[in-house]
Structure 1
Amino acid sequence: MNKKQILKMIETNAFQTIYQPIVNIQENQIYGYESLTRISSEPISEFIQSCEENRLTSQFELRTIKNGMNHFSWRESTRLFLNISYGTFLKYYDEIEEWLKDSGKITFEFLETSYVEENQRFDLYAKMAALTRQFDTQFAIDDYGSGYADIARVLRQPTDFVKTDAQLIKDFKQHQGKKLVLTNLHRFLEKNQKKMVVEGVENKEQLEFLQHLGVTYAQGFYFTKGMKN
C-alpha cells in the first residue's frame, strides 16, 4: 500500500475498532479493555508495516487512539488500554494531554520493541509521571519477550504493567523453558510492584496454570476474540 492510499484511509477513518477484555482471572472480573484496530483490505500487521515504511505511524496511531476513546462506552467502570509508540507519545504529548481530560481511565501500551533515544528518556519519564499525577494514567510494556529488552530496562520505566508476548503461553506444557520464564517473570515483577498481563490465553489449561501460578491478569481468545462497542 502506498503513501497516498494510507493517507486516504486515515483521513476517511476506514478502520474498525474492537475491544478485547483484560480479565482479573483470580476474581473472574473484567479489569479493562484493549482497543484494537482492524481493516477489511489486509491484515492489520501488514498495514502497520506500510505505515512505518511511509513514515505515517504517528498519524495512524493518533487516529486509532481517538477512535478508541470516542467509541468506548464502559469508561466509567473500567480502564481502556491504547497502543502508542514512544515517538508519537513524545511528539504529540500536548494533544494527548488535552484528550485525556475527558477520556476516563487510560492505560497506554508501549511495544517492547519500540525505541527511544537515551537523551529522550528523562523527558519521556517526566511526561509519563505528569499524566499519572493529573489523570491517573497508567502505562504498560507490551509484547514483552518478543524483542531484546532486558528486565532491568523495563524496571527503569515508570510502568504499571508488563504484557507478555502471546508466544510465551502457547504450547507451554511442551516447553518447560516457557513455564520457567513465566514463573520467574511473575515473581520478579511482583517484587518490584509491577503487574503482569499474560496475552494469548486460548484454552482452559493455560488459564488454570496461570491461576495456580498466582497471575492476576490475562487476555486472549479464550475469553473473547473482541467486541464492538
Structure 2
Amino acid sequence: MTDDRDKQISEARFHKLFDDTQAMSIQGYRADGTVVYWNAASEKIYGYTTAEALGQSLYDLIIPSEMRDDVQKAVAWMFEHEQGIPSARLNLKHKNGTTVPVFSSHTVVALPNDEPIMFCMDADMRALEIAENQVQRLSYFDPLTDLPNRRLLLERLASILRPNNGDSPVAALMIVDIDNFHSINESLGYASGDRVLMHCAQCLQQFAPALDDIARLVKDEFVLLLASAGNSSAAVATNAEQTAKQLIAALEAPLQLDNSTHKLSACIGITLFDCPSEQLGDELLRQADIALKSAKKSNDAQICFFDTDMENAVKERLKIAQALAHAVDKKEFKLAFQPQVNRHGQLIGFEALLRWSHPEFGAISPEQFIPIAETTNAILPIGDWVLEQSCLQLVQWASQADTKRLNLSVNVSSEQFRRGDFVSRVQQILLNSGANPKNLRLELTESLMAEDIEFVVSQMHNLRELGVSISLDDFGTGYASLAYLSQLPLDELKIDRAFVKDLNKQGKGELLTETLISLGRSMNLTVIAEGVETHEQFERLQELGCEFFQGYLFGKPRTDIESYLNQKS
C-alpha cells in the first residue's frame, strides 16, 4: 500500500509540474498520433484548448502538410525503438495557420503493462527570434537614432567601391560634427544631448537618398554619403558643397532644449572618391576626418574638402559666385548670337548665348559659371537681363526690312522657369521693350520634365498665350519620354549635337537622329539640328528630313551681330 501511495503522489507531482509550467509546451501522443496529454503551455503556444486537442491527431493539429510524411516516419521509428530522436528547431503550425518556431525534444515512455506514450517538449522560439533580430539590428544600427552605424556604413562603402561593369561615378563622403556637443550634455543633461542627436539624425535623413547613405559614427559625428553624384569631380564637389550648406542650415534651425531655445552649429569635412576604387572605407573616413579637423580649426570655414586642389576649386567657385552677384550691375555680360538657317542656307534667326568677361578672371565659360549661378539664385537676375536684352535686339531688328522676320531663341534655366512669377516677368519684359512675342522662342531643357509635369505644361500654355513659341532643347538626351511628350505644347524640337556628331551611315547616331526627326515632323513641330560642323552632316540631315540647322558650319557665336548681318547682305 505504501508503494502504491508513493507512486500516486509522485505521478500527481509530475502532473502538477507538467500542467502548471508556462515555459514549456508538453504533449503526449499514442503511436497513431492521437493526443492524450496537452498542458496549459501547449494551449498558449498552439492556440488549442486541452478539450479541443485531446483525442485529435498530432498531424492535423500542429504539423504542416509539407512535414507530415517525415514526422510520421520519425514517430514510427521512436515507437519501434522506444527512444527519442535528437532535439531540433522546427516550424510547426498554430491553430490560426501561422507558423510557430519551436525547439522540440522527444522521448517515448514505455512502462510495464502500459501502452507506450511519446512526449514532446517544445520551447517557444518566437521571443528568442525577436531577441536575435534585435541583437542583429544592434550590431548594425545605432540604438538611439536608429541610423546605420560604422559597421554597416563600411559594408555599404565596400559594396560601391568594388569593381563593376556599370558607370564609374564620382562620389562624396562627408563627416558632420556638432560643435561643443559635450557642453550640452554637461550643462543640460544627457536627455537634452539625446534630443540634439535625434534632431541631427532627422536633418540628415532630409538629404539622404536612402537610409544606408547616412550613419552615426560616434557621439556627435555623423556621415552622409552621396553615392552616385555624377561623373565630373567639379560637379560633384559643387553638389556636395551645396548639400553641406543646406545641411548646416537645417541643423542650425532653432531647437527647444530644457524650456529654452538653442541654436546648434556644425562643421563638415568632405572627401571625393571614384567608384570603383582600391581605397578602403576606413581610408575614406580618415580623409573626411582630416578635412573635418581642418574645418574645425578654421575661423571662417564650416566646410572643408580633403583634396587641396578641390579646396582651391571651391574657393574659386566662391569668388565666381560673389562676382556673379554684381555682374549685371557692372555690365560685365554680353550676348553672342549664333545663326540658324534653313535647308537652303538662308538665315532664319539666331540663338542668344550669354558671355561673361570679368576684369580679374577674364572670359569665363558658361559651362563654368551657369551651374554656380543656378545654385546661388544669381541666375534669376541674369535670366531677366538676357530676356530684356534679347527683346531689345528683336525691337532693333523689327525696324529693318531685311531683319524684321528673324527669330531669336533664348535659353531658360529650370530655376527661372519654376519661379512662380516667370510668365508675368516675360509678359512685362515684352511690354516694356515692345518686342513682338512671335519672334521670341524660349528654349527649355529636358531636365524640367523630370518632375511636376502638370506645372510644366500649365506654365508652357501660359507662355504660348503670350505669343511666345517654345523649343525643347537637347532633345533625346534627357527626361522627355514619349509617354508624355505629346502633352507638351511645343513648337520646336532641337536635336542635340551629340546625335549630329555621331551621324554616319554605319553608326547608331543616324538611326536615332532619323527617329527624332520623324517624331518631330509627325507632331507638326519644327525640327532643328544643332552642332552641324561639316557639309556631310548638313547634307545627310537634309536627306533624313531635317529642315533647320545651327552650328559652326554656318557661323560661330558672335557679339558683333550687326557686322555679321552686313556681311551676309
TM-score, normalised by the number of residues in structure 1: 0.88
Matched, 1:146 2:477: yes
Matched, 1:99 2:432: no
Assess, with a 3 A threshold, how the Cα gap between structure 1 residues 148 and 126 changes in structure 2: closer, same or farther.
Answer: closer
Is the contact between residue 449 and residue 456 of structure 2 (CA under 8 Å) also seen in structure 1? no
Superposition pairs for residues 39-118 of structure 1, below 5 Å?
39-40=356-357, 41-72=363-394, 73-75=396-398, 76-91=404-419, 92-101=422-431, 102-104=434-436, 105-115=439-449, 117-118=451-452
CA distance in structure 2 between the partners assigned to 1:115 and 1:57 by the alignment: 19
CA distance in structure 2 between the partners assigned to 1:175 and 1:112 by the alignment: 28
SS at match of 2:353: strand
Which of these two proteins has the greater Rg computed from alpha carbons?
A: 2
Task: Give the percent of matched residue pairs that are identical in Structure 1 and Structure 2.
Answer: 24
The alignment of Structure 1 onto Structure 2 pairs a total of residues equal to: 225
Deviation (angstroms), 1:144: 1.5
Deviations along 1:33-73, one digit per CA (max 9) or x if unpaired, are 11011123321110101112323222222222222222343
- What amino acid sits opposite 2:529 in the alignment? V
Assess, with a 3 A threshold, how the Cα gap between structure 1 residues 192 and 71 changes in structure 2: closer, same or farther.
Answer: closer
Matched, 1:187 2:518: yes
Report runs of 4+ in structure 1 exceeding 6 Å deviation.
none
- Segments of structure 1 that go 5 or more residues without pairing to the other structure are none
Deviation (angstroms), 1:83: 0.7
- Segments of structure 2 that go 5 or more residues without pairing to the other structure are 1-316, 358-362, 399-403, 562-569
- What amino acid sits opposite 2:426 in the alignment? I
Is the contact between residue 169 and residue 201 of structure 1 (CA under 8 Å) also seen in structure 2? yes
CA distance in structure 1 between the partners assigned to 2:389 and 2:500 by the alignment: 30
RCO greater where, 1 or 2, for CA within 8 Å and sep 6 or more? Answer: 1
2:489 match: 158
1:133 match: 465
Deviations along 1:178-208, one digit per CA (max 9) or x if unpaired, are 1000111111211111121100000100000
SS at match of 2:388: helix
CA distance in structure 2 between the partners assigned to 1:36 and 1:225 by the alignment: 11
- What amino acid sits opposite 1:37 in the alignment? L
- What amino acid sits opposite 2:330 in the alignment? T
Match of 2:333 among 5, 9, 15: 15
TM-score, normalised by the number of residues in structure 2: 0.37
CA distance in structure 2 between the partners assigned to 1:59 and 1:154 by the alignment: 30
Is the contact between residue 13 and residue 63 of structure 1 (CA under 8 Å) also seen in structure 2? no
CA distance in structure 2 between the partners assigned to 1:61 and 1:68 by the alignment: 11
Deviations along 1:121-150, one digit per CA (max 9) or x if unpaired, are 444433433432342x10011011332432
2:549 match: 218
Assess, with a 3 A threshold, how the Cα gap between structure 1 residues 52 and 115 changes in structure 2: closer, same or farther.
Answer: farther
Deviations along 1:92-145, one digit per CA (max 9) or x if unpaired, are 221211222322211100011235642xx444433433432342x100110113
